[in-house]
Amino acid sequence: MNFILKYKGDQQPDMEKLTEVLTVHHARIMDDSLLPHSALLHVKESFVKKLQLDLEGDWEIYPEKIYKIPTTKKSI
C-alpha cells in the first residue's frame, strides 16, 4: 500500500536515519521529488505503526488517497 511521508520538523531532516529506518521496514520510496520534506512510500500496512514509532515523531505517515475527478465534457 502507498503512504505519504511528511516531515514536520523545523530543521533539515536526517536523511541517513530516514534511509536506515525505511530499509529496516522494507519501505520503498516511489516518488522522492519533494524530498526532504515529503515522499511517496510503498510499505506493507502491517509495518506502518512500527515505522511511525521508529521515526520518533519527526515524520507523519498518511495513507495515499485517490480521487476520481468527474469529466468536464458536456453530454447531449
Q: Report the CATH number at residue 23.
A: 3.30.70
Domain count, the chain: 1
Query: Per the domain annotation, does 49 fall within a domain?
Result: yes
Query: Per the domain annotation, does 46 fall within a domain?
Result: yes
The pLDDT mean for the chain works out to 91
**Predicted pLDDT of residue 49:** 92
Q: Is the dihedral of CA 66, 18, 45, 32 positive or negative?
A: positive
Query: Per the domain annotation, does 68 fall within a domain?
Result: no
Indicate if the pLDDT at residue 43 is higher than 80: yes
Tell me the mean pLDDT in the region 49-75: 90
**In whole angstroms, what is the distance from residue 15 CA to residue 37 CA?**
10
- Give φ, ψ of 28 to 5 degrees: -120, 130
Q: What is the pTM of this model?
A: 0.79
Helix, strand or coil for residue 52? helix
Indicate if the pLDDT at residue 64 is higher than 80: yes
